[in-house]
Structure 1
Amino acid sequence: MDSTHGHKKRRANSDSTLYQNQHSGYITKQGEHESLKRKYKHLKAVHELQNRTVRHFMHNIMSPLSAVSGYLELLSNSLSSVPDSEKLDRYSSHISSGLNEIGFMLEQLHDIYKEDHQFSDESESPIVELNWLVNEVKEIVSGAAGLCATEVRTLPSAKPVYVEAELFQMKLLIYNLVVSADSFSSPESIIEIEVEQDDSEFALIIRNKGGKCANTHVQSLFKKGDIVLLSEDMDEGSSLLLGLKICAQIADQVNGHILMDKRDGKTPQFVLTAPFTHSDNSF
């Protein structure tokens, strides 16, 4: 009797162990499945961003290419006659600025396609200091041949703001927002890029002081009010809207959102808000 009872108990323990092992394997496979789903979703988002960015840059790259071509022609004409050193320096400066702008665009395309080969968990995303990144973009935009505003200013936050995000994506986002704000420029325009932070979020504000919004595609977004939430579902009716759509997609990847706000005047300002990782010097 005791032998039979012991046998049943051992059998029950064996069955329990078998169930636990099988159940553990199920949990492991389920976890792997969820990981693959996350990676697939990330890959899909990257490919959508790649396609939109290529279309956007193919349109935008024509402006600096045309500018460089024009200044090369002027440079050639100047060299065929009595050289004017002041003109030559000016033409050379514009050509250099145009090539820098083209180089930046090509760098972004390279970085965005390189993302395909850099799969890792979202927890391994790099940390970027936002004020430093804003200054990097300012240097690029300020030297751009097609810049309409007279000046680009930065208003940094009181403390460093560290964001968990891909460097190239954040640089692309800020660049696109600045270029979009510049499309509203008048001859007196000044573009400001401001960084603010509170206890858990940062705000990146890009405004065009002195500009006028004559873009009909943008004006159509304000049919229902003076504040518009940029989203991936927006129509791509122009290169400007496509650029804003790319920004909305990147903002979503850093758990943020972008508002286009024209309550303070005729020219919309762009406000990106998202959580940050650190906001002090103890990084």
Structure 2
Amino acid sequence: MYFIFCTVLFSVPSGFDHLILNTGVLLYPLLFGMAKPFKSASLIQKVCMLWGTLFPSMLFIVIVPKMLGQSIFNTPPTDAILVGVYLLTAVILGGLFIVYIETAWDRLQVKERMKGISERFQWESEKLQQITNVVPLNIMSFDDNGYVTELNEYMLSLIQRHCPHLTREMILSQPADRVFGHSMDQEIYEHLRGILLNRQRANTKIKYDSMTYHIFTAPLQHESGIPGGLVMIIQDLTEEEKIRSELDNVERLTLVGQMAAGITHEIRNPMAVVRGFLQLMREKSPEDLHSYYHIVMEELDRANSIINDFLSLAQSRVSDKEMVQLHLIMEELTPLIWADANLRGQSVELKLSPSLPLLRLNVREIKQLILNLARNGMEAMEAKGVLTLETCEHEDTAQLIITDTGSGIPQSQLKQLFAPFFTTKSQGTGLGLSLCLSIAERHNGTIHVESEEGKGTSVIVTIPFEPKEEPAEIEVYS
């Protein structure tokens, strides 16, 4: 349009016919019609198409005004040379313009494609980094020279666990010697260094600083098969090893417990026979021997009590439960506890909460738990000691708190209180608290002990509330 506008203004001579000749507007429909095949053609084809349309139109525009009705062969030589130079220059420049535009366009497309590939590569790298940060494994990669190229957040946390001063920036681009060399024993470091230098698939387990780690290494390779570094994955097996060890102990203890439970059950029968015959013999013996029979029978009863406690501890059956009020059970046991306390010269205080919701309990087992804990508290006190029994509501649980004013328990022994056969009493069996813990666990509860030497001990039994049921299904214990 700009070319046509300039031709209208400056064409000499002017006129519509010269406008048509000088602009070649008659060829425009042909050019626009060839646009689509021109776009899809190769570079050589585009140059040829340009020459095929440009040369005739330029020749037509130049020669027709020069002819002025004369034959083309009568054109002066100077005009013919000028026309030839003009046509050749136009054709060559047109071809050069096509080459330049195509080259620039190709470069632009390559640049755009590279930009897209670069953005996709960057996103894939970020996505891979996010995935490795989420995976609960400690991952680190090295190049062929043993320098750290990347690590995830778990690996960084693991390294900082042993070397708190190291940061990600300090670890990246550093050789493995500087990362691991100063924080490990020489033997463990040499072992790990051998794994990294091997550059092969390897699985090994090392123990360092009371921790157990499983190390897996694998080489990284390019598509052509050329080595591209090494990846190392470290898994913390400390808890797993601890659980495996505890399970082994549990299996052994379970087997021993089953055998012991069977043996003690069989022992109880002949003991009952022996006690029966001792009663008959005492009736037929002189009175001066009755005290001896009494001592023997008391020891038999004590042995039988120990056997019963052991069998209760080893029992794993599901106990029958009912919805009851805890303070009612406490009120039933109060006379027994008071009587025992009076014999020792001690006193008992009750702080019961009658507003506690109903609990699903096995009454016989809960009574046994309360009596055992109460007697433990009384045995820990001297005369004039005070035993406090308290019930209260804490969040969604009921708490039974038994507090004594005894000498307290050393902190070193608190963790062992509920271990079977552990006792601080000269005549104790070490099964009472284990039995209480077993009862609490069968009620989905817990037992917590708080003690201070010289001031006393508090045993806190926590039992969760049952979900609310329909009133018709509730049986109130009374």
Please identify the structure whose Cα radius of gyration is greater. 2
